[in-house]
């Protein structure tokens, strides 16, 4: 999910650095096999014959004892995915897909005992995020294979959100969908999800940004990709994917946010795309940014620019970030436009606000119960039984208790693309939590 902020233009940055991927863990998720090991078999049959003149030989045989070598069947994911990931991984331990050593002055962290101890202390938090990441990977890869032209945006969102709920074993505020599925088309860069009754469908010439989240105990994985059906958009997608990977590689402890933005812009704007005989430079959407992530807080205060700017704030140990970039064939700047669908309770809202409307009071209690400070949409309110929510929602927005997030739109007829990963700056290494073999 996107952070919005105005940023300025940039110069050159460092090139890409090599990423160290743990090969065994970078492969497809391994399903645990619980099996009975082959038991050792007593194979020494002693056929001793004792005999002599006038004596009768006596045979003594040891019988082999064979045990049935039964294996428990592997638990496999279904199509569509419905099996909780907790049933696919032994002891609920989830894999590290990509981790990267820090560089330069922070290289010492890799082997430092104190830092390694801190990592062990925080293992449960990391494992929760790896679990959410595994759900994201499996759901999105199913979506990539099965979203087709002609599907309604509601069908697409239901596919993704129902898969997420099943695989994470949705349980109130303990686990579930991290925020509404963004499925913004073409010049709409972010913050569109269908409201109830929306009839919009995806077409063969559309460029669709799929941005969805998964949370465990309020810890959120935020990751996005762009889906197209026409290869003419490939260069646009390549530019944005390359820019996002640049941001991921440049991020680290003590790195200045402005330096990351400069590196991203230099890579993104080195690309061009030809559409219908006309060549367009790929521009960074300069007022969209990545962001830090906190417990129950999708935007935790720091923004990661995608263009050069003057923000010398540094990334710090232990922080989680959504590194996301947006490229456009349009003006490279977005405005709020269209019907609002995304909402979020203000993180600093008072616990007992003075609300005049009973409808707002009742709706706020439901929001607190089902979403807390996580983003939600009008479809989600319908789903939890708040089908008559418009008046109460307006009252909460007017009181500043809930913030609206309308669609963010570039110039008409522009095409926009997005890629995004969640990273954590662990004490010893940087981990790219949402990495997969798709992006």
| Bigger pLDDT: 217 vs 19 | 217
Confidence band, pLDDT 50/70/90 cuts, at residue 69: low
Residue 420 is assigned to a ligand binding site:
yes
Residues 28-41 have a mean pLDDT of 38
Q: Is 170 within 8 Å of 161 (Cβ atoms)?
A: no
For 389-418, letters b (16+ CB in 10 Å) and e give beebbbbbeebebbeebebbbbeeebbbbb
Catalytic annotation, pick one of 324, 386, 410, 431 = 324
Catalytic annotation, pick one of 136, 215, 291, 370 = 291
Q: From the centroid of its chain, how far is CA 389?
A: 29
| pLDDT exceeds 50 at position 259 | yes
Residue 71: its pLDDT value, please?
Answer: 63
Confidence band, pLDDT 50/70/90 cuts, at residue 2: confident
348 is catalytic: no
Least confidently predicted of 2-11, 82-91, 140-149, 221-230: 2-11
Residues 257-281 have a mean pLDDT of 98
Residue 342 is assigned to a ligand binding site:
no
Mind listing the domains of the chain with CATH numbers? Answer: 3-10+78-335+412-432 (3.90.230.10), 340-405 (1.10.10.10)
Catalytic annotation, pick one of 99, 250, 266, 299 = 299
Residue 74: its pLDDT value, please?
Answer: 81
Cα separations in angstroms, 288 against 7, 18, 315: 8, 27, 18
Residue 113: its pLDDT value, please?
Answer: 95
Residue 339's Cβ-count burial label (10 Å; 0-12, 13-18, 19+) is exposed
3-state SS assignment for residue 157: helix
- Tell me which H or E stretch contains 25: helix 23-26
Residue 424: both structure tokens together: 């954590």
324 is catalytic: yes
Confidence band, pLDDT 50/70/90 cuts, at residue 4: low
Torsion angles phi and psi, residue 336, rounded to 5: -75, 130
Residues 299-327 have a mean pLDDT of 98
| pLDDT exceeds 90 at position 311 | yes
- DSSP per residue, 302-316: -EE-SS--S---B--
| pLDDT exceeds 80 at position 264 | yes
Residue 155 is assigned to a ligand binding site:
no
Torsion angles phi and psi, residue 120, rounded to 5: -65, -35
Q: Rounded CA gap, 212 and 380, in Å? A: 14
Residue 222 is assigned to a ligand binding site:
yes
Residue 104: its pLDDT value, please?
Answer: 86
| pLDDT exceeds 90 at position 52 | no
Q: Is 366 within 8 Å of 343 (Cβ atoms)?
A: no
How crowded is residue 294: how many other Cβ atoms within 10 Å of its Cβ? Answer: 18
- DSSP per residue, 327-360: EESS-S--EE-S---EEEE-TT--SS-----HHH
Q: Is 308 within 8 Å of 9 (Cβ atoms)?
A: yes
For 131-160, letters b (16+ CB in 10 Å) and e give bbbbbbbbbbebbeeebeeeeebbebbebb
Q: Is the peptide bond before 435 cis (omega within 30 degrees of 0)?
A: no
| pLDDT exceeds 80 at position 156 | yes
| Bigger pLDDT: 197 vs 36 | 197
Catalytic annotation, pick one of 99, 134, 161, 211 = 211
222 is catalytic: yes
Confidence band, pLDDT 50/70/90 cuts, at residue 72: low
Catalytic annotation, pick one of 99, 161, 222, 410 = 222
| pLDDT exceeds 90 at position 83 | yes
Residue 27: its pLDDT value, please?
Answer: 37
Q: Rounded CA gap, 14 and 202, in Å? A: 38
420 is catalytic: yes
The packing angle between helices 113-121 and 123-146, to 10°, is: 70
Q: Is 293 within 8 Å of 322 (Cβ atoms)?
A: yes
Confidence band, pLDDT 50/70/90 cuts, at residue 171: very high
Residues 35-63 have a mean pLDDT of 42
Q: Rounded CA gap, 32 and 90, in Å? A: 5
Residues 111-121 have a mean pLDDT of 95
| pLDDT exceeds 70 at position 201 | yes
Q: What is the pTM of this model?
A: 0.84
Residue 291 is assigned to a ligand binding site:
yes
């Amino acid at each position: 999910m996107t952070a919005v902020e105005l940023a300025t233009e940039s110069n050159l940055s460092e090139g890409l650095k090599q990423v160290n991927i743990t090969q065994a863990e970078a492969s497809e998720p391994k399903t645990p096999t619980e099996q009975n090991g082959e038991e050792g078999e007593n194979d020494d049959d002693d056929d001793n014959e004792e005999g002599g003149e006038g004596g009768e030989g006596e045979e003594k045989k040891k019988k082999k004892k064979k045990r049935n070598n039964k294996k428990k069947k592997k638990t496999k994911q279904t199509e569509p995915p419905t099996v909780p990931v907790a049933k696919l991984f032994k002891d609920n331990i989830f894999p590290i897909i990509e981790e990267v050593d820090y560089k330069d002055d922070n290289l010492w962290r890799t082997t430092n005992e104190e830092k390694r101890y801190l990592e062990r202390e925080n293992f449960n938090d990391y494992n929760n995020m790896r679990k959410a990441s595994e759900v994201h990977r499996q759901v999105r890869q199913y979506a990539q294979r099965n979203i087709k032209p002609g599907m309604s945006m509601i069908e697409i969102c239901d596919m993704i959100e129902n898969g997420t709920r099943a695989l994470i074993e949705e349980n109130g505020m303990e686990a579930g969908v991290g925020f509404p599925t963004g499925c913004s088309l073409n010049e709409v860069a972010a913050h569109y999800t269908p409201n109830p009754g929306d009839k919009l469908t995806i077409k063969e010439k559309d460029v669709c940004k799929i941005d969805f989240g998964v949370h465990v105990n309020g810890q959120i994985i935020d990751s996005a990709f762009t889906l197209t059906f026409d290869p003419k958009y490939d260069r646009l997608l390549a530019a944005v994917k390359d820019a996002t990977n640049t941001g991921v590689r440049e991020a680290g402890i003590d790195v200045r946010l402005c330096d990351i933005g400069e590196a991203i812009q230099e890579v993104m704007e080195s690309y061009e795309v030809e559409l219908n005989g006309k060549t367009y430079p790929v521009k960074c959407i300069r007022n969209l940014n990545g962001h830090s992530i906190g417990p129950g807080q999708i935007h935790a205060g720091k923004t990661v620019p995608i263009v050069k700017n003057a923000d010398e704030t540094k990334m710090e140990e232990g922080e989680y970030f959504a590194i996301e970039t947006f490229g456009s064939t349009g003006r490279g700047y977005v405005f709020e436009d269209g019907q609002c669908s995304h909402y979020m309770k203000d993180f600093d809202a008072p616990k007992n606000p003075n609300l005049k409307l009973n409808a707002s009071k009742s709706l706020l209690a439901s929001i607190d119960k089902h979403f807390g400070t996580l983003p939600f949409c009008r479809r989600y309110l319908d789903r939890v039984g708040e089908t008559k929510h418009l008046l109460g929602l307006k009252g909460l927005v007017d009181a500043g208790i809930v913030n609206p997030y309308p669609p963010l739109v570039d110039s008409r007829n522009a095409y926009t693309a997005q890629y995004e990963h969640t990273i954590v700056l662990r004490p010893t290494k940087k981990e790219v939590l949402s990495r997969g073999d798709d992006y």
